[in-house]
């Protein structure tokens, strides 16, 4: 199951900017860098781009050697851990974690750091790197997405803080079954206005 969304470009953009959509991991106290989950390119004024925001999430682990575990379905309130095998390691579901809002990944290996990542729709949503043995990666996401216009964004890559700080539109998807995301603003010269994003044609669950 997922939320059916449709991005509609009603802006006056002449620069063919990319539209980036992402979530923020709110489990940490500091502003960590976010991953560009979805990047919409070449969607000109008057065009639209439908996509689905899944309710489900997958969790995976990787290491410095470039090895990746299979992605496991993850729910809030779930703890995963990496455990050693005779030929390496594997990621397995463990007990429930202390918080029902979090997904946690424990590095239970005797040595060697790991990276933990969350995915939606097969695309990287968030990642934490260099998790030392007996340390945890903690992920928590609100039912919201962040959206903005930018340039030179690569889907699946971590965005730098300058880009993230310029994106300040947070759209709540709580209880929504489908909606249009409408972009307005932009334009050439002195008459240009900032880009704005809002939901229209909202259908609640």
Task: State which of 139, 161, 190 marks the end of a domain.
Answer: 139
Do 17 and 115 sit in the same domain of this protein? no
Task: Give me 30's structure tokens.
Answer: 């500091």
Q: Is residue 122 located within the same domain as residue 196?
A: no
Domain co-membership, 195 together with 135: no
What are 163-170's contacts with CB under 8 Å, separation 24+? 163/20, 164/31, 164/33, 164/34, 167/20, 169/196, 169/197, 170/144, 170/145, 170/146
How far apart are the C-alpha atoms of 146 and 126, rounded to whole Å? 13
Where among 118, 139, 160 does a domain terminate? Answer: 139
How many domains are contained in the chain? 2
Strand blocks (E) in 151-192? 169-172, 176-186
Q: What is the pLDDT along the chain (205 residues), one digit of tens a residue?
A: 799 999 999 999 878 789 999 999 998 766 678 999 999 999 999 999 999 999 999 999 999 899 999 999 998 899 999 999 998 899 999 987 778 889 999 999 999 999 999 999 999 999 999 999 999 999 999 999 999 999 999 999 999 888 888 999 999 999 999 999 999 998 888 888 999 999 999 999 9
Tell me which residue range forms the domain holding 172: 2-54+142-204
Q: Quick one: 77 and 119 in the same domain?
A: yes
Does one domain contain both 35 and 74? no
- Are 44 and 64 contained in the same domain? no
Tell me, yes or no, whether 22 and 69 share the same domain: no
pTM value is 0.93
Measured distance CA(22)–CA(48) in Å, rounded? 18
Q: Which CATH number do you get for residue 146?
A: 2.60.40
Residues 83, 149: one domain?
no
């Amino acid at each position: 199951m997922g939320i059916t969304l449709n991005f509609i470009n009603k802006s006056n953009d002449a620069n063919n900017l990319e539209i980036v959509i992402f979530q923020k991991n709110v489990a940490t106290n500091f502003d960590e860098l976010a991953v560009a989950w979805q990047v919409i390119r070449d969607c000109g004024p008057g065009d639209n781009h439908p996509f689905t925001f899944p309710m489900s999430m997958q969790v995976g682990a990787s290491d410095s050697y470039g090895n990746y575990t299979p992605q496991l379905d993850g729910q809030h309130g779930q703890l995963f851990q990496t455990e050693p095998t005779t030929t390496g390691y594997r990621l397995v579901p463990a007990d429930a974690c202390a918080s029902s809002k979090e997904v946690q990944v424990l590095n239970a290996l005797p040595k060697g750091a790991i990276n933990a990542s969350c995915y939606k729709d097969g695309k990287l949503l968030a990642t934490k790197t260099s998790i030392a043995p007996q340390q945890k990666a903690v992920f928590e996401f609100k039912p919201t997405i962040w959206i903005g216009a930018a340039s030179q964004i690569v889907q699946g890559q971590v965005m730098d803080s300058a880009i993230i700080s310029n994106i300040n539109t947070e759209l709540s998807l709580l209880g929504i079954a489908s909606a249009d995301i409408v972009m307005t603003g932009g334009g050439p010269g002195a008459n240009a206005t900032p880009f704005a994003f809002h939901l229209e044609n909202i259908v609640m669950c």
